[in-house]
A and B are shown apart, each in its own frame.
Chain A
Amino acid sequence: MNPANAASTILVLLSCHYFSGCASTPQISYQRDVHPIFQDKCIQCHTPPYGEGYKRSGLDMVSYDTLMEGSIYGPAIVPGNSKASPLNMLVEGRAGNLARVMRNMHTPITDREIEVLQLWVEQGAQNN
């Protein structure tokens, strides 16, 4: 690739990064896409006062507001940064075998659901 072509490719990639015009990433909705995942996979344990996950961590996933309050160990979600969000780290298996423990407790979380959670956090973790 000659330098001019390389420069134009970089410009196109950068513009795709900053302006979502050329990306086909879907807009994730908390109510439509994210809450059903939590409902199916997480809330049974992460419900106060007696849910096992809640008693261990203080993380209440029943509503958007309580989720965003975080756990006794700090925030569960870092809006805009799925890499640094503990919730994403856990479900993606980036914090050791904890993810396996969580997955074994109920129906395993699917790769598609992991991707939805990742996109939702990257898009700002909005209550939409």
Chain B
Amino acid sequence: MVLSVGQVSVWLIAIFLAAMKLYALFALVLVSRFSMAGELEALSVTESEGEYRLQIVSVLYAPADYVYRVITDYLHAYRLNPTITEVEILPSGRDQVVRVRNLSEQCVGPFCFSIDWVGDIEEPGDGNIKVETIPELSSFESGSAVWQIRPVGEHTRVYHESSLKPDFFIPPVIGNKLMKNKMQKDTLATFNRIECYAKIALEMEMENEPELIADILNEGKNCIKL
């Protein structure tokens, strides 16, 4: 088989991008720290035929309505996931359903790649949230998630389960391991930030005094570092 220069270029670019993605995952895993502010009850990530499934149950030390508010503040999703560079709320055409588009960017040195995600988020108003990825508009072949947010006294038990099948190549064995580690690390960081911002929202409401903002400012800076 004779390949044209164009075909070779396409293959070289594909291999290069795959290598960059793998390197990005590896670099992220190297600097990962597993920690949890609330009480982590369960966390697992599994993979089967290219589909990743994640399950986490955690009690966050913040009231449920504030936790719910932070999770459903889609316009500020970049506060929970700092790799998000663009957020857009699109018309869904359905009651109680919000269509959200996120663009996130991963960079390794000067090389960056973007991940597009569009999904319908259903909020029935009972503390549950259902998320359905729209594959034709996303960098994923499929994806869905559920959230259950339940008050436990002044705290909140959050159950989250999601599945995602990326439509980009992930090298088998080592790539899967790196992907699973990254999902665990990112999920824990996100849960820490949810708790942190929910506490801040509570404090801002309770103590709307300008002189207290300085203290909250310091907490906020810590949220993003989590």
Contact between A89 and B213, CB atoms less than 8 A apart? no
Contact between A95 and B208, CB atoms less than 8 A apart? no
Contact between A94 and B204, CB atoms less than 8 A apart? no
The 8 A CB mask of B74-109 against A (1 = contact, 0 = none) is: 111011001101111100000000000000010000
- Chain B residues within 8 Å of A74, by CB: 79, 82, 220-221, 223-224
Residues 54-105 of A contacting B (Cβ, < 8 Å): 54-55, 58, 69-75, 83-84, 86, 89, 94-98
- Chain A residues within 8 Å of B110, by CB: 17-18
Contact between A75 and B221, CB atoms less than 8 A apart? yes
- Chain A residues within 8 Å of B197, by CB: 73
- Inter-chain CA distance A70–B216, complex, in Å, is 11
A positions within 8 Å CB-CB of B: 2-3, 6, 17-18, 48-50, 54-55, 58, 69-75, 83-84, 86, 89, 94-98
Query: Smallest distance from the beta carbon of A104 to chain B beta carbons, Å?
Result: 16
Query: Which among A17, A54, A95 is the interface contact of B87 at CB below 8 angstroms?
Result: A95
Contact between B75 and A72, CB atoms less than 8 A apart? no
Query: Smallest distance from the beta carbon of A95 to chain B beta carbons, Å?
Result: 5
Centre residue among A18, A49, A71 by max chain B CB count within 10 A: A71
Interface size, chain B (Cβ < 8 Å)? 30
B31 contacts the other chain (Cβ, under 8 Å)? no
Query: Smallest distance from the beta carbon of B140 to chain A beta carbons, Å?
Result: 21
Number of A-B residue pairs at CB separation under 8 A: 78
Contact between B85 and A96, CB atoms less than 8 A apart? no
Known contacts A48-B213, A58-B220; is-contact A72 B204 (Cβ 8 Å): yes
- Chain B residues within 8 Å of A54, by CB: 210, 213
- Chain B residues within 8 Å of A72, by CB: 200, 204, 213, 216-217, 219-220
Known contacts A17-B110, A55-B210, A98-B75; is-contact A71 B217 (Cβ 8 Å): yes
- Chain A residues within 8 Å of B210, by CB: 48-50, 54-55
Query: Smallest distance from the beta carbon of B193 to chain A beta carbons, Å?
Result: 9
Contact between A70 and B213, CB atoms less than 8 A apart? no
Contact between A73 and B213, CB atoms less than 8 A apart? no
Contact between A86 and B78, CB atoms less than 8 A apart? yes
B154 contacts the other chain (Cβ, under 8 Å)? no
Q: Can you name the residue of chain A whose Cβ is closest to the Cβ of B110?
A: A17
- Inter-chain CA distance A109–B139, complex, in Å, is 33
B211 contacts the other chain (Cβ, under 8 Å)? yes
Contact between A73 and B223, CB atoms less than 8 A apart? yes
- Chain A residues within 8 Å of B105, by CB: 83-84
Contact between B87 and A96, CB atoms less than 8 A apart? yes
